[in-house]
Structure 1
Amino acid sequence: MPVAEDTERLAQGYAVLGRCWRQPDEALVEAINSGTLSTVVPDVESVTVKDLRIEHTRLFVGPGGPPCPPYESVYRDGEGDARGNVLGPSTGAVVTWYQAHGLGLDRDWSDLPDHVATELEFVSHLAADGSEDLREQFLDEHPRQWMRPFLDGVRAETHESFYAGLADATEDALF
């Protein structure tokens, strides 16, 4: 396979993973139920938008502090075993990466810059640009620093096979 196709496939893979970590919608559920995502997240039972949204909210939003906050700053900016606050120093470091590559933050977008999906989408951007060294540097400085505990938490807490499989697929892509 030509290098350009490898680069495109890699970029698309990270983009798909990023999309899967966002709030579920009809298009995602259709892709899951049709088997379109079976190469990314295999062995997933049929799901409904309602069930995935309930689980997504329980895992990542709350109420009362979600068990698996999807933000780098929570995992990296705390002291000792205590979780950090969102929008901590690691968030600023991620924003610096985005700005250095000509990417800004959409004021209408509600997710924070260090959200798992946003970081994976940025990795997709770096892969599409063919910036292998920069991609690896960003992965080493950011996602690989915090995602294992996050993904372990998702696997331990989820009631949906989709999120357990997504955690496995994300870990396979990153490590």
Structure 2
Amino acid sequence: MPPEKPPLRNKETLLDGLSMLARFYWGPDQELCEDLASPAYRDLFSRLARIVPDAAPTLRSIQAYLQNAPSSEALCLELETAYVATHVNPPAGNGAPLYHSCYVGDGLVMGPPAGAMALRLEQAGLSLGEKSGEPPDHLAVELEYLIFILEEGLAGRREWGLEEAGEMAARFMLPWVKDFVIRQAEASSPMLPMFASLLTAMLQEVAKEAFPSEQRA
């Protein structure tokens, strides 16, 4: 007998966690920093720890760090500075760019993964909207597309939505995200590698929808 699928509440928690990560990877701002310290997000971290056990230690570390932050303004300054130095304008040869293409082939922006994501978006009838200046393989774009197909699958509007999301997480995102995680070990704020670790654990959870045996191995 196949393992029982998690209840809908767990899927909604996973969606909330992915949405938080997408917000973070578009760039931390004051509103996000205030939300991170809010009761609603503390509850989200607790729920995520229950449904993604591999992420529980990281989530506890994130909560402890947030509790010790002197203010949301100080946290925002720290995160913005580290985000720019690590993801946007790192020293030559260092840092962790937010573009999938930078982790495959010759590592240039707008490589094959950008074309693949552009096709996925086009086939789904989606556009980048106000983010149209960004390449389509930006991490936040990939996360938002993943959220979209998960939501479509949960709502029954996309017959294979959950399996498609699992395939995207396992085959399209995790291979480069694992390298992305390694490249930010020296980030000036420990929150960056912690969020990257959380991202990996959550993608692995989504991947179980399509490849449960591989993710347990």
TM-score range, shorter chain: 0.7 to 0.9
Change (3 A) 1:71 1:54: same
The change in CA–CA distance for 1:37 and 1:167 in structure 2 (over 3 A counts) is farther
What is aligned with 1:95?
Answer: 118
Higher alpha-carbon deviation: 163-172 or 105-114:
105-114
- Name the amino acid aligned to 1:76: V
Cα offset for 1:95? 1.1
For 1:47-71, what per-residue CA distance to the aligned partner results, in whole angstroms no more than 9, with x for missing partners?
A: 4322211111100111654611111
Pair 1:118-2:141 in alignment: yes
The amino acid of 2:152's aligned partner reads: D
| Structure 2: 5+ residue stretches without partners | 46-58, 154-160, 205-217
Deviation at 1:2, TM superposition (A): 8.2
Whether 2:25 is the aligned partner of 1:21: answer: yes
Distance 1:153 1:43, change over 3 A: farther
Give 1:170 deviation, angstroms.
0.4
Q: Which residues of 2 match residues 6-155 of structure 1 at below 5 A? A: 6-34=10-38, 36-38=40-42, 39=45, 41-45=62-66, 46=69, 47-62=74-89, 64-65=91-92, 67-78=95-106, 84-106=107-129, 108-130=131-153, 131-154=161-184
CA distance in 2, matches of 1:33, 1:123: 25
Larger radius of gyration: 2
Q: Percent identity among equivalent residues?
A: 24
Deviation readout 1:127-167 (Å, 9 max, x if unpaired)? 1112111101222332112000001112x121212212101
SS of aligned partner of 2:183: helix
1:42·1:165 contact (CA, 8 Å) conserved in 2?
no
Q: Structure 1 residues 13, 107: closer, same or farther in 2, change over 3 A?
A: closer
Q: Which amino acid aligns with 1:12?
A: D
Give the match for residue 215 of structure 2.
Answer: none
Q: 1:86 to 1:24 in 2, by over 3 A?
A: same
Larger helix proportion of the pair: 2
Say if 1:37 and 1:168 are closer, same or farther in 2 by CA, change over 3 A: farther
For 2:10, what is the secondary structure of its paired residue?
A: helix
TM-score by length of 2: 0.69
Amino acid at match of 1:10: L
Question: Which whole-Å CA distance do the structure 2 matches of 1:2 and 1:64 have between them?
Answer: 43
Amino acid at match of 2:125: G
TM-score by length of 1: 0.84
CA contact (8 A) 1:73 1:114 kept: yes
**One-letter code aligned to 1:43:** A
Letter in 1 for 2:193: A
Unaligned runs of 5+ in 1: 79-83
RMSD of aligned residue pairs (Cα, Å): 2.3
Bigger RCO (CA 8 Å, 6+ sep):
1
